[in-house]
């Protein structure tokens, strides 16, 4: 059994020290240790499902144990990270592609992005260099190599932008002009070294598996029935209104996605006062909409599990102006109503509700809510 500090393991912080997991900092992520903990404690079998896979922590941690897994997410940025971190690369081909790209002298002749605010985040030359490499990467035929290089470039763009990810938002902050080419290729070197250092699974006596990371909405996705031997996931935070604004630069520059979503996809449309769901009487509309959406996800996931398989939801409470919402208790009730058997709720840490967010200051739990089919 892995020793794990759950208060840390529900955050991305321990992943910063983990090769490959640390290729892209995903603020909302949990850590490899949490996945190992769940697999061991609940004797999960493959394949493992993660209906909110984010940057692929569940997928990569399963792969590292030789277990097959499937993840879905709505964010193209998260999926790029999940895929790039879990592909089975041909290292020789990858090395050659990096060396070829490095020989080129950046010269961008295309059009800058239309959005004024994106252009303003960069020095003109810096942006041109990023766009030059983006174009060259998009021309490449090998999808795996494209994902690897693009993730390196997305990370580099975040470093050279005149902005910092502060709390839940992107704050403009002037930096000195930074050398895109140098930073980009040193990032790729760092990533490549990780791959060289991690011997392929068969060399460690484990089966080689390539997880699936699919773009899909968990509220609307049905999975193969009686198929999964476990589920490990963390839904978006309940009231992180500014959820995707942290990545709005990356989304606008590298993906044809909408610029900004004002709220997490879950609970996007606040329920009106009318049809209050059974879970949620007395909750703020956003919270009711959130639990309505989670109910859809639970109903989609239950049939997908094999009988006896466990499902672990890492969920945090929400701070509202006049109310603190204990999501773990509400989710546990919801799961039972949908047909899951309750197993346990493990509180992992307390989250402080700040006066700005909630006049009623106090704390809410971040917990693991565990069910069995």
Ligand X SMILES: C[S@@+](CC[C@H](N)C(=O)[O-])C[C@H]1O[C@@H](n2cnc3c(N)ncnc32)[C@H](O)[C@@H]1O
Q: Site residues (CB under 6 A) for ligand X?
A: 26, 28-30, 52, 54-55, 57, 72-75, 78, 217-219, 234, 236, 264-266
Q: Give the shortest CB-218-to-ligand X separation in angstroms.
A: 4
The stretches of the chain forming alpha helices (DSSP H) are 6-9, 32-41, 57-64, 76-86, 91-103, 116-119, 124-139, 143-160, 180-197, 248-254, 285-301, 327-338
- The helix/strand/coil state of 235 is coil
Closest listed residue to residue 23, CA positions, set 200, 195, 277: 195
Please state whether the peptide bond connecting residue 47 to the residue before it is cis, i.e. omega within 30 degrees of 0: yes
When the beta carbons of 131 and 251 are compared against ligand X, the nearer one is 251
* Residue whose Cβ sits closest to ligand X: 54
When the beta carbons of 47 and 129 are compared against ligand X, the nearer one is 47
Q: Give the shortest CB-52-to-ligand X separation in angstroms.
A: 3
When the beta carbons of 39 and 131 are compared against ligand X, the nearer one is 39
When the beta carbons of 77 and 130 are compared against ligand X, the nearer one is 77
Q: Give the shortest CB-163-to-ligand X separation in angstroms.
A: 20
Distance from C-alpha of 198 to C-alpha of 32, rounded to nearest angstrom: 15
Q: Give the shortest CB-350-to-ligand X separation in angstroms.
A: 18
Q: Which residues, including other chains, have CB under 8 Å from residue 240's CB and lie 6 or more apart?
A: 168, 263, 264
When the beta carbons of 160 and 266 are compared against ligand X, the nearer one is 266
Q: Give the shortest CB-121-to-ligand X separation in angstroms.
A: 22
The full DSSP string for 245-307 is GGGHHHHHHH--S-S--SS-STT-S---SSS--STTTTS-HHHHHHHHHHHHHHHHHGGGEEE
When the beta carbons of 218 and 249 are compared against ligand X, the nearer one is 218
Q: Give the shortest CB-136-to-ligand X separation in angstroms.
A: 28
Question: Element (H or E) spanning 344, and its range?
Answer: strand 341-353
Distance from C-alpha of 340 to C-alpha of 372, rounded to nearest angstrom: 6
Task: List the structure tokens of 125.
Answer: 């030359």
Q: Give the shortest CB-264-to-ligand X separation in angstroms.
A: 5
When the beta carbons of 130 and 295 are compared against ligand X, the nearer one is 295
Distance from C-alpha of 73 to C-alpha of 51, rounded to nearest angstrom: 7
Distance from C-alpha of 319 to C-alpha of 323, rounded to nearest angstrom: 7
When the beta carbons of 129 and 367 are compared against ligand X, the nearer one is 367
Q: Give the shortest CB-217-to-ligand X separation in angstroms.
A: 4
Burial class of residue 44 in the structure, from the number of CB atoms within 10 Å of its CB (0-12 exposed, 13-18 middle, 19+ buried)? buried
């Amino acid at each position: 059994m892995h020793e794990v500090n759950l208060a840390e393991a529900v955050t991305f912080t321990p992943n910063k020290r983990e090769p490959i997991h640390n290729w892209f900092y995903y603020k909302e992520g949990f850590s490899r240790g949490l996945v190992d903990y769940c697999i061991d404690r609940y004797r999960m079998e493959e394949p493992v499902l993660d209906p909110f896979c984010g940057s692929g922590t569940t997928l990569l941690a399963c792969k590292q144990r030789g277990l097959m897994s499937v993840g879905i997410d709505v964010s193209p940025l998260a999926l790029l990270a999940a895929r790039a971190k879990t592909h089975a690369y041909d290292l020789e081909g990858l090395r050659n592609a990096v060396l070829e790209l490095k020989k080129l002298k950046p010269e961008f002749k295309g059009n800058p992005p239309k959005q004024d605010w994106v252009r303003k985040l960069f020095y003109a030359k810096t942006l041109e260099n990023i766009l030059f490499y983006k174009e060259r990467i998009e021309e490449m035929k090998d999808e795996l190599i494209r994902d690897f290089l693009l993730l390196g470039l997305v990370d580099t763009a975040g470093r050279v932008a005149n902005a910092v990810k502060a709390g839940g938002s992107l704050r403009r902050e002037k930096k000195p002009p930074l050398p895109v080419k140098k930073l980009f290729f040193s990032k790729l070197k760092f990533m490549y070294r990780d791959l060289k250092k991690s011997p392929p699974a068969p060399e460690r006596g484990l089966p080689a598996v390539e997880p699936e990371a699919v773009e899909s909405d968990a509220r609307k996705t049905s999975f193969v029935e009686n198929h999964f031997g476990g589920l490990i996931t963390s839904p978006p935070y309940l009231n992180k209104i500014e959820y995707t604004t942290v990545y709005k630069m990356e989304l606008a520059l590298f993906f044809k996605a909408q610029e900004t979503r004002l709220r997490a996809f879950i609970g996007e449309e606040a329920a009106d006062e009318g049809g209050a769901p059974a879970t949620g009487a007395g909750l703020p509309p956003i919270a009711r909409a959130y639990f309505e959406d989670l109910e859809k996800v639970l109903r989609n996931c239950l049939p997908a599990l094999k009988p006896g398989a466990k499902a672990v939801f890492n969920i945090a409470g929400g701070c509202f102006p006049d109310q603190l919402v204990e999501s773990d208790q509400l989710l546990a009730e919801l799961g039972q109503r949908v047909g899951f058997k309750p197993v346990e709720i493990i509180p992992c840490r307390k989250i402080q509700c700040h006066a700005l967010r909630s006049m009623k200051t106090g704390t809410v739990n971040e917990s693991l809510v565990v069910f069995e089919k």
